[in-house]
């Protein structure tokens, strides 16, 4: 019975390849599995969790000196502690993971949100313990950008992760935080310029939903942390008790970092991502 099912699956996959030939959107190799997500298994398996030592607060890569010491807080956080308690990410913002995020954001490949959501759920587990009744708040796009793109990728990823977080009394709140004005790209700006660029760019629309609540701020990528810090500042000012940050990816310093270093749990997570991709 099992061999018959396996044979049927092979025939089905062969028929799919013959009728709907396509290539992996990340590495261009021919796809042989039936999936709404046009990404091959090899690329999905390569998207492993972070393996390098990172700052306990912002998640930035630590230098060799820090990784060998008991102090696991980066110099930037020691100098100016962020408004949030802790930021976590699934993987490094490079290679296939970066390309998968781009498939969703810039090419509107919607099934990518399910796989990215599973990665986000894995990142959220690093925050244990957090309150079951935590408020999940996606970082919003400005209305003009949302109209242009057609969706907010942070919201799509948050919705996918929300289904598998295992927080029964948590609540997804997509109408709490609002971006009041468009902002320019943070790339190339100095730290003071980045802070000024984000100053006054957000507001809390419903104070009663935030007051006294623990908040988990959700985004696709954490780059400099300026946006996350400003959102956390606004949420705390509105009465939030605590703010954590969870993202799919984190931009890390390149010095000596090996984003693809193997971790035993990476293989299991990779297989889970493939299963999610097939079901998407």
Q: Write out the DSSP string of 195-264.
A: HHHHTT-EEES-HHHHTT-EEEEEEEEESSSHHHHHHHHHHHHTT-SEEEEEEEEE----TT--TT---H
Helices (H), 75-220: 75-79, 95-107, 112-124, 143-149, 153-162, 191-198, 207-210
Based on the structure, what is the number of domains in the chain? 1
What pLDDT was estimated at residue 17? 45
Rounded mean pLDDT, 239-263: 74
- Is the residue at 83 inside a domain? yes
Q: Containing domain of residue 153, as a range? A: 50-279
**Among the listed residues 217, 252, 221, the one whose alpha carbon sits nearest the alpha carbon of residue 231:** 217
> Could you tell me the pLDDT band of residue 12, with boundaries at 50, 70 and 90?
low
What pLDDT was estimated at residue 210? 94
- Is the residue at 27 inside a domain? no
Rounded mean pLDDT, 132-141: 91
What pLDDT was estimated at residue 126? 87
- Examine the pLDDT at 253 and tell me if it is beyond 90: no
Rounded mean pLDDT, 19-28: 78
- Is the residue at 261 inside a domain? yes
- Is the residue at 2 inside a domain? no
- Examine the pLDDT at 21 and tell me if it is beyond 60: no
- Is the residue at 29 inside a domain? no
User: At 107, phi and psi to the nearest 5?
Assistant: -120, 5
- Examine the pLDDT at 66 and tell me if it is beyond 70: no
Q: What is the pTM of this model?
A: 0.81
> Could you tell me the pLDDT band of residue 5, with boundaries at 50, 70 and 90?
low
Rounded mean pLDDT, 93-113: 93
> Could you tell me the pLDDT band of residue 10, with boundaries at 50, 70 and 90?
very low
- Is the residue at 160 inside a domain? yes
Quick one: angle between helices 112-124 and 264-279, nearest 10? 140
Q: Read off the pLDDT of residues 199-232 as tens digits, 9 standing for 90 and up.
A: 888 999 999 999 999 999 999 999 888 889 999 9
> For the ranges 3-17, 142-156, 201-215, 250-264, which has the lowest average pLDDT?
3-17
Rounded mean pLDDT, 152-170: 89
- Examine the pLDDT at 104 and tell me if it is beyond 90: yes
CATH classification at residue 196: 3.40.50.2020
- Is the residue at 34 inside a domain? no
- Is the residue at 32 inside a domain? no
């Amino acid at each position: 019975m099992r061999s018959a099912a396996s044979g049927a699956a092979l025939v089905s996959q062969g028929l799919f390849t013959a009728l709907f030939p396509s290539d992996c959107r990340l590495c261009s190799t021919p796809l042989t599995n039936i999936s709404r997500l046009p990404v091959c298994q090899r690329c999905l398996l390569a998207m492993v969790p972070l393996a390098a030592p990172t700052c306990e607060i912002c998640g930035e890569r630590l230098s060799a000196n820090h990784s060998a010491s008991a102090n696991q807080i980066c110099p930037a956080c020691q100098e100016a502690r962020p408004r949030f308690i802790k930021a976590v990410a699934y993987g490094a913002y490079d290679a296939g993971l970066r390309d998968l995020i781009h498939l969703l954001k810039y090419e509107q490949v919607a099934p990518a949100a399910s796989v990215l959501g599973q990665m986000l759920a894995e990142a959220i587990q690093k925050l244990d313990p957090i309150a079951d009744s935590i408020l999940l708040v996606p970082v919003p796009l400005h209305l003009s950008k949302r109209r242009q793109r057609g969706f907010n990728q942070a919201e799509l990823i948050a919705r996918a992760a929300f289904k598998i977080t295992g927080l029964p009394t948590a609540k997804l709140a997509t109408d709490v935080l609002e971006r009041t004005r468009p902002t320019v790209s943070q790339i190339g700006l100095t730290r003071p310029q980045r802070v000024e660029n984000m100053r006054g760019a957000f507001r809390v629309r419903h104070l009663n939903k935030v007051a006294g609540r623990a908040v988990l701020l959700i985004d696709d990528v954490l780059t400099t942390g300026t946006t996350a810090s400003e959102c956390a500042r606004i949420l705390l000012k509105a009465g939030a008790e605590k703010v954590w940050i969870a993202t799919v990816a984190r931009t890390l310093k390149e010095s000596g970092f090996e984003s693809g270093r193997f971790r035993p749990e990476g293989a299991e997570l990779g297989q889970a991502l493939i299963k999610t991709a097939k079901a998407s």
